[in-house]
Amino acid sequence: MSAGLPCLNWSPLMWPFKRETRIASSDPFLGEFLGTRWQAVADIEKATGLSVAHRCIDVVASSLAMSPLSTYREDEAGDRTEDMKHPLYALLTGEPWPGVSAFEFKEWLYRSVLIHGNAYARIHRNGRSQITGLEPLWKGLVTVEELTTGRVRYRYQPRHGGVEIISQDDILHLKFASRDGIMGQSPVQIAAAAFGLATAQSEQAGAQAVNSFRPSGALVLPEKIGGDGKTAALARMKERFIGSTKAGDFMVLDGGAKFETFQFSARDSEFLESRKLSNLDICRVWGVPPSVAGITDGASYSSAAEESRALVTRCLRLWAARFEGSLMVSLLSPDARKTLYIEHDLSRLMEASQKDRYEAYNIGRNGGWLSVNDIRRDDNRPKIKGGDAYLEPLNMGIVGQPRPAVIPGAPSGSAGEQLAQVST
């Protein structure tokens, strides 16, 4: 102790108040529930209600939901074929849960991940451990708990009441950008600053719309009036003339009063340009090209077509790979994953115009890797007799193998006959 200072024998029992206990948490939902305020926090419901955000979520979720999701088997030779006999095939392409179509099931899961960062489905099995159903679970009714063993379990609270404990092996859990491998993060919360700004701008535009986008002004009186009189005059002014339903009404002011507006337009304050930049930031969150989200400023037909292809190659393929990995880990055993795959078929999303498709078919047919029935099957047309044959170009052959002695249809003295003679 320093000289001159009394020595105090302090004890916690002497302090009349309880000591404060603080708990550190990075959960944004807990902070919002407790009323905590910090910079760059976005409300998920408001953020996803923005038109651009809704469009981005709908494009990604609906595009992946409409893409066929199936099981594929690879044999020892490396050939991969669609395994339609596997029990998962009927669930992923037909009815995962009674009354729920495959499109609705996939869209439910994907939309939940795109908004909240997590999606859950309960796995139902029969006595032979075969998967018989995938029950979608609403995110708000599921709680994830980490056990001391390192595994996790899920606490599910159905709407009819009660609590069900579900093991890790019986849950399909899709996650986005997980930090701990247990819980995913919401893209909206990750980009909270962008969504907070866009939400504030939307609310400001709505407030301006209430007044028909007219700038506020000043009520000028020739003489000074008291506080009560001023308040009453402004109240009558707002009641009579302010509001979108009162636009265009005649204004009658007595007592020498004049109304002078403040001429500040939205373009002068660059408000519209700022909202456009916020919309572009929202597109970047999910990787959706601007023209696909409806932002067509400066876009042409060719650039829009390129961005549509970019949607598949740089956006949907990434989300599809994320979902496919979780599906394989949760629905397939380690031994089954050696020969079985669960994948999206995104080829339909890359379809070009009819002319471009027919030109591609012509190249594949003449090149020898497409048959007539392959082409007809791709166009959802029935097979024809003799359509399974593949062509072999005359100027190509297998290395080390002799060419045929006679080329059918080759005229006498032609290059085809000469080639046949050389081959022999």
Tell me how many helices (H) and strands (E) the chain has. 14, 11
Query: Using CA atoms, how far apart are residues 258 and 358, in angstroms rounded to an integer?
Result: 72
Predicted pLDDT at 128: 87
- Provide the residue type at 295 as one letter: I
Q: Give residue 42's region: left, alpha or beta (phi > 0; psi -120 to 50).
A: beta
Predicted pLDDT at 181: 87
* Burial zone of 389 (CB within 10 Å; 0-12 exposed, 13-18 middle, 19+ buried): exposed
| CA 174 remoteness from chain centre | 13
Predicted pLDDT at 348: 79
Beta carbons within 8 Å of 283's beta carbon, 6+ residues apart: 52, 56, 289, 290, 293, 295
Which of the 8 DSSP states describes residue 159?
A: T
Rounded to 10 degrees, what is the CA torsion of 88, 91, 94, 95? 170
Predicted pLDDT at 102: 95
Distance between start and end Cα atoms, the chain: 111
Per-domain boundaries in the chain: 25-212+270-351, 216-262
Query: Using CA atoms, how far apart are residues 288 and 60, in angstroms rounded to an integer?
Result: 8
> What is the full DSSP assignment across 188-239?
HHHTHHHHHHHHHHHHHHHHHHHTTTPPPEEEE-SS---HHHHHHHHHHHHH
Query: Using CA atoms, how far apart are residues 41 and 403, in angstroms rounded to an integer?
Result: 72
Report which of 224, 283, 221 is spatially closest to residue 255, judged by C-alpha positions.
221
Query: Using CA atoms, how far apart are residues 136 and 171, in angstroms rounded to an integer?
Result: 10
DSSP H or E segment with residue 307: helix 301-311
Predicted pLDDT at 357: 81
Query: Using CA atoms, how far apart are residues 111 and 124, in angstroms rounded to an integer?
Result: 22
Provide the edge-to-edge strand list for the sheet that holds 152-156.
Answer: 142-146, 152-156, 164-167
Contact 405, 424 (CB under 8 A): yes
DSSP H or E segment with residue 53: helix 51-66
In order along its 424 residues, the chain shows pLDDT tens digits of 445 555 555 555 555 555 555 555 555 555 555 555 445 567 888 999 999 999 999 999 999 999 999 999 988 877 888 999 999 999 999 999 999 999 999 999 999 999 999 999 999 999 888 899 999 999 889 999 999 888 999 999 988 888 999 999 999 999 999 998 899 999 999 999 899 888 888 887 777 666 555 545 665 666 666 667 667 766 776 666 665 555 555 565 666 667 666 555 555 557 778 888 899 999 999 999 998 888 887 766 667 778 888 899 899 999 999 999 999 999 999 999 999 999 999 887 877 667 778 888 889 888 888 999 988 888 778 889 888 888 877 766 665 666 655 545 545 444 444 444 444 4
Query: Using CA atoms, how far apart are residues 67 and 18, in angstroms rounded to an integer?
Result: 60
Q: What's the token pair of residue 138? A: 């609403």
Query: Using CA atoms, how far apart are residues 169 and 151, in angstroms rounded to an integer?
Result: 10
Query: Using CA atoms, how far apart are residues 148 and 152, in angstroms rounded to an integer?
Result: 9
Based on C-alpha coordinates, what's the Rg of the chain? 34
Query: Using CA atoms, how far apart are residues 327 and 120, in angstroms rounded to an integer?
Result: 11
Query: Using CA atoms, how far apart are residues 51 and 55, in angstroms rounded to an integer?
Result: 6
Contact 117, 187 (CB under 8 A): yes
Predicted pLDDT at 418: 44
Beta carbons within 8 Å of 101's beta carbon, 6+ residues apart: 94, 95
Beta carbons within 8 Å of 201's beta carbon, 6+ residues apart: 271, 274, 275, 278
The CB density around residue 188, as the number of other CB atoms within 10 Å, is: 26
Provide the edge-to-edge strand list for the sheet that holds 118-125.
Answer: 131-137, 118-125, 171-175
Report which of 146, 115, 397, 149 is spatially closest to residue 138, judged by C-alpha positions.
115
Q: What's the token pair of residue 170? A: 């019986």
Backbone angles phi, psi at 137, to 5 degrees: -115, 135
Predicted pLDDT at 422: 43
Residue with the two structure tokens 């916020």: 278
